[in-house]
Amino acid sequence: MPSETVEINATPEMLTKPLIWRLGKLYNVVTRIKRARVTEDYGFVTLMLDGSTQEVDSAVNYLKSNKLITGGASTDYSAPRNEPENDIPQPNTIFVQLNTVSDDQAQSPVLYRLGKDFGTVIRLERAAFDEEVGGSVEVAISGDLSAVQRAIAYLHTTGINVNPRQRSVTDGGNL
């Protein structure tokens, strides 16, 4: 399976979008964060893309067409017109901080699995992460209530420390 490592530099405007999730949804590539520094006004992510040659090339062209990585998109590439996250109902969002405990956790495609396996939209909010030493990633998990709850339950099975920024996904009083 072909792999490619890309370095994404995102502006504050692009940081509000679920970019990494889109790559898995639109191009069926498995995404794995190798290194990330994301704040409210800057985003740098080194990302490993795994998939078929065509899937990886399409994902890279998507990033190029959005000026997230250097280089121009191929001339035969046409970016999708719609934002796929708009097709998924997102009445519930919970913000979760994930802290890795072991190297194995840092190298697994957990965010990809959350989006693919549970039908949720994942948006990277903040990060201070390196695959060699681990670190912390804050994500917004959006979708219907049962999907969000199942995604969080899955996170607890991985051994990753899961710290919700609110106590309950059913209690809106903690927002």
Q: What is the pLDDT of residues 104-114, one digit of tens each?
A: 888 889 999 99
pLDDT computed for residue 67 by the predictor: 86
Distance (Å) of CA 26 to CA 41, 58, 116, 119, 153: 26, 9, 11, 13, 25
C-beta of residue 134 within 8 angstroms of C-beta of residue 99? yes
CA distance 151 to 136: 18
CA distance 165 to 111: 17
CA distance 55 to 4: 11
Q: What is the pLDDT of residues 68-126, one digit of tens each?
A: 888 766 666 666 767 889 888 899 999 999 998 777 888 889 999 999 999 999 999 99
C-beta of residue 57 within 8 angstroms of C-beta of residue 51? no
Q: What is the pLDDT of residues 12-34, one digit of tens each?
A: 788 789 999 999 999 999 999 99
Sorted by where each starts, the structural domains of the chain and their CATH numbers stand as 3-70 (3.30.70.260), 85-174 (3.30.70.260)
Strands, E assignment, the chain? 3-10, 30-38, 43-50, 92-99, 121-130, 134-143, 161-164
Q: What is the pLDDT of residues 124-173, one digit of tens each?
A: 999 999 988 889 999 999 999 999 999 999 999 998 999 988 655 555 54
C-beta of residue 24 within 8 angstroms of C-beta of residue 31? yes
Strands, E assignment, 53-154? 92-99, 121-130, 134-143
pLDDT computed for residue 173 by the predictor: 46
